Structure 1
C-alpha cells in the first residue's frame, strides 16, 4: 500500500511496537500499512461511526489482515482496553477534538509509549494542552501533500509541566531544533493566513480589537522566527 504524504509521515513517526491504536481510523489505511511493513504486531482501528468501520473492515479483509487488525466502534480512547496503550494515533481531526479526546482519556494517554497526533487545524490547542498536562513533544515533522503542509507531533507523558512561548504552540519547537526542510514555507503560509485574518478584522467592533492585536503580535513573532532559519 502506498500512502500519500500526510499519512506516510504519520506512519513513519510510529515507533516499532506491539500494538497500535488508530483512533478515528477512517479507512484503516495506516494500520494496514503498519502491519504490512511489520512496524507493529497488532493494530486496533476504531471510529465513532459505523460507516468508516465497515469500509475499514473491507480494506483489512482485502489485504488479508483480519487476524492482525481489529476494528472497534466507540468514542475516543474508550475503545482501548487495559494494556493496549502502546502507541496511540489520533489524526485527521481538529485540534480541539484531539485535545478533548486526550482529556477524556488522559489516564490511557499517560500510559502510552507514544502519542502520534496530527491536527488538521488549531494545532496550538494541542501543543498547549500537552505542555500543561505533563506531555513532552519528543519529535515533530512536516509533510507536504499537494499544496498543503501538515504537522505531525510525537509525544509521551513525563509528568513535567512546561510553559512555552506562544510561538511554539503554533509552530512546534522541534521543527526549529531539527531545521525541518518545510519550516520556512510553513511559516510563510501562516503569515499569509494571519494577514488575511487581520485585514478582515480591521473594521470589526471594539470587542474584537484585542483579538486583532493578538494576531498582529503573533505575526511579528512569525516574521522574527523567519530570520532565524
Structure 2
C-alpha cells in the first residue's frame, strides 16, 4: 500500500518493519518520528502500537505523524525512558532501533519483567553490536535471527531475540562480532560485511606498523588473529 508514511521509510526502517509479526501489539522504543509504527498501522499489518521516546521533541514529531495519518485511536504515545514505559505483557513485540548496543542492553536490563516476557525483540544497534550480542547470549536471551541491510554506504545489523532463561555458549569471540545466524543464513551482504571488518583491522595494523613495545606487539597479534578468524568465516 502506498501512503504518506511508506514513502518516508528508509531501507533500514523498512527492513525492521518487515520483521514485525502480523497482528501483534508492538512498542517502538525511541520512536523518533514514529515512522515504523505509522507505516505498519497504515498498512493494517498491526492494530495497536505504543510509541515512546525519552525526549519530548521526537515524541511531538511522532504525534504529528500519527495525527496526519488519522491513527490517534490506534496508538499510545508515552514520554519516558526505554521499556520502563511498558507494563508486563501489554505488547507482544518490542522494537529498539537506532541506539548504541550498550544502551540497548541497559534498556533491556532496566525492566526485566517486560523484556523477559516479550514474544520478540527487534534490535538494531548503531554501534557496539558485539557488546549487545554478548549481553543477550550471557543473560538468557536466544538470538532467533539476524539480518543485514544496506542503506547508502552503511551496513546495519538487526538482531531478533527472545528471552528463554538459558545462556548460549559461544565457541569463539568472533561470533560476538559476526552473528552466527548471519553465517548460517548465508546473508547476501555477509561477504561485504566481513570484508569491511577485515579492511578496518588491516588499516589499524598499518597505522601501528613500525611501532614497538609490549602493548603494541600484543595488539598486533590480537588484530592479526582477528583477521585470520574473519577470513575463515568467508572460507578464505
Bin for the TM-score computed over the shorter chain: over 0.9
Deviates more, 1:160-169 or 1:124-133: 160-169
What secondary structure sits across from 1:67 in the alignment? helix
Residue 204 of structure 1: CA displacement? 7.9
**If the length of structure 2 is used for normalisation, what is the TM-score?**
0.90
Distance 1:210 1:115 in 2: 38
Distance 1:196 1:90 in 2: 32
Q: Quick one: which of 86, 92, 97 aligns to 1:91?
A: 97
Q: Name the residue aligned to 2:151.
A: 145
Q: Name the residue aligned to 1:171.
A: 178
Q: Name the residue aligned to 1:196.
A: 203
What secondary structure sits across from 2:168 in the alignment? coil
Number of equivalent positions: 228
Q: Name the residue aligned to 1:118.
A: 124
1:53–1:73 CA contact under 8 A, matched in 2: yes
- For residues 127 and 37 of structure 1, do their structure 2 counterparts lie closer, same or farther at Cα, with a shift above 3 Å needed? same
Distance 1:191 1:127 in 2: 20
Residue 83 of structure 1: CA displacement? 2.5
1:85–1:109 CA contact under 8 A, matched in 2: no
What secondary structure sits across from 1:198 in the alignment? helix
Residue 209 of structure 1: CA displacement? 4.9
Q: Which runs of 5+ in 2 are unaligned?
A: 1-5
Q: Can you list the C-alpha shifts for 1:22-45, whole angstroms capped at 9, x where unaligned?
A: 111111001101112223210011
Deviates more, 1:21-30 or 1:2-11: 2-11
Q: Which runs of 5+ in 1 are unaligned?
A: none
- For residues 208 and 113 of structure 1, do their structure 2 counterparts lie closer, same or farther at Cα, with a shift above 3 Å needed? farther
Q: Quick one: which of 107, 115, 131 aligns to 1:101?
A: 107
Distance 2:224 2:12 in 1: 30
Distance 2:19 2:93 in 1: 11
**If the length of structure 1 is used for normalisation, what is the TM-score?**
0.93
Q: Can you list the C-alpha shifts for 1:127-162, whole angstroms capped at 9, x where unaligned?
A: 111110111111111111111111111110111111
Q: Quick one: which of 184, 187, 201 aligns to 2:191?
A: 184
Q: Can you list the C-alpha shifts for 1:173-227, whole angstroms capped at 9, x where unaligned?
A: 1111111111111111111122223333454864465445333322211111111
Distance 2:216 2:108 in 1: 30
